[in-house]
Amino acid sequence: MEAENLTGSMEFILLGFSDDPELQPLIFGLFLLMYLITVLGNLLLIVASITDSHLHTPMYFFLSNLSFADICFTSTIIPKMLVNIQTQSKAITFDGCITQMYFFILFATLDNFLLTVMAYDRFVAICQPLHYTVIMNSRLCGSLVLLSWVISALRSLLNSLLTLHLSFGTEQEIPHFFCDLKEVVQVSHSDTLLNVTVMYLEALLLAGGPFACILYSYSKIIASVRSISSTQGKYKAFSTCMSHLSVVLLFYGTALGIYLSSAVPHSSQSNTIASVMFTVVTPMLNPFIYSLRNKNLQMALKKIFRTKI
């Protein structure tokens, strides 16, 4: 039976974390707390970047877009999971699964490209400081963000359309807490060679390519910083990159954790834990990483709280 003929009745069963009823309130409370922290933290960064004139620079423009993407990224997964725990149901409809998968791929890819754009911004700021305002003009910044959105949307659309042509059983179990593309494809009854080939090509081009660009940018940044004579100058130059570099390491480190855990047979539990780090913990930590040592951002956030008080 083809998937397209069963969309009215087909359901996927998201196995989630545990069947123990005593753990469900703990899991619900923990993920609700992390979700609220993620939304509030990233929302504060967006508001600060918009309201404070000192933050009207390319770096904070990209950061606010990253924060928006992180809010949407987490919101595609956690609310549905919380509803399922509350209603004691693990089901998600076929249409709901495809929709969740589409937006998950969209915002995960968008995060990847925004981190690459931010690496380029830091490269220009440190390696070509005299030409920074000319190169990183508002038109280029807007174009880079728009291009990131377009590529991300096309990638998620391609994968969603390919998945729609697969056939599934009427009630298929997915050993995960959301509709991950790889897991959905694996439970299909169809020939998935095309889907798997596209997935690996995309990983090579749309994940490996941007990561290579980030590495190249930082190799140039390090070379430029090393040419600075004073130790204080070196520290000041590289300190502007530390937050971004920390987020990059966290993002790609957790993504690599998902890849390695999924490559090991019978490791669904470790894959789930790695996915939690990637989909929930990383977006939650990003606002703290960027505001921890950023005095301009800290001052902007203090102004927001003073205004509210």
What confidence tier does 266 reach under pLDDT thresholds 50, 70, 90?
Answer: low
Number of domains in the chain: 1
Under the banding of pLDDT at 50, 70 and 90, the label for residue 233 is confident
Average pLDDT for 257-277: 72
For residue range 136-145, list pLDDT tens digits in order: 999 999 999 9
Which residues 6+ apart lie within 8 Å of 205 measured at CB? none
Listed ranges 13-22, 126-135, 229-238, 270-279; the one with the highest mean pLDDT: 126-135
- The yes-or-no verdict on residue 97 having pLDDT over 90 is yes
Q: Which amino acid is at 225?
A: V
Taking the C-alpha atoms of residue 50 and residue 55, their distance in angstroms, rounded to an integer, is: 7
| CATH code of the domain containing 88 | 1.20.1070.10
CA distance 52 to 41: 16
**What is the Cα–Cα distance from 289 to 283, expressed in whole angstroms?**
10
- Overall average pLDDT of the 212-234 stretch: 88
pLDDT at 121: 95
Residue range of the domain that includes 132: 3-308
Order the strands of the 91-93 sheet from edge to edge: 91-93, 11-14, 171-174
Residue 295: the pLDDT is 82
What average pLDDT does the structure give for the chain? 87
